Homo-oligomer: A and B are copies of this chain.
Amino acid sequence: MTEKFISIEDVVHKVIRPEAGAINTFIGTVRELTDGKRTLYLTYEAYASMAEKMMARIGTEIEEKWPDAKVAITHRVGRLEISDVAVVLAVSTPHRADAYEASRYAIERIKQMVPIWKKEHWDTGEEWIGNQQGTKAYALGSKTKEDLHG
């Protein structure tokens, strides 16, 4: 996890190795329009230690399901502008079918499991998004990062 610009090249280079012939990456960028609403910018906040732990767990999970796979995940937090890179996921495998499957699986698990919250700054107002699947914040009850830490 980082507050700085993510280098796609750096994430990919973590999984390049002689055994691999295929790398699939997923890169999430900040989209301007969602259901007709215009985003001005986003803020991501994370329960950092748990987010790191969950990303590591997803890596292990993938490497158990696809024993030939190697995974790297980096998520950015803080303020992001339109088109900024929010997350980079890279999976390398010997052959390409596995790289696609494992990558697809990994991004769904990231969206499900990693405690990172997104605040939408629309041109019409602001809204906390509970998690990356777009669930509303109140689905989490009143838990804040501080509650989760405490």
Contacts and interface: CB of A to CB of B under 8 A. Distances in A.
Interface of A: 7-9, 12, 16-33, 82-83, 85, 92, 94, 96, 99-100, 103-104, 107
The copy count of this chain in the complex is 2
A31 B19 contact: yes
Most B CB contacts (10 A, CB to CB) among A25, A33, A99 go to A25
Nearest to A107: B96
A107 to B, nearest CB: 6
Given A12-B27, A20-B29, A100-B104, 4 more contacts: A18-B31, A19-B32, A21-B30, A100-B103
Contacts of A16: 29, 83, 85
Contacts of A18: 31-33, 82-83
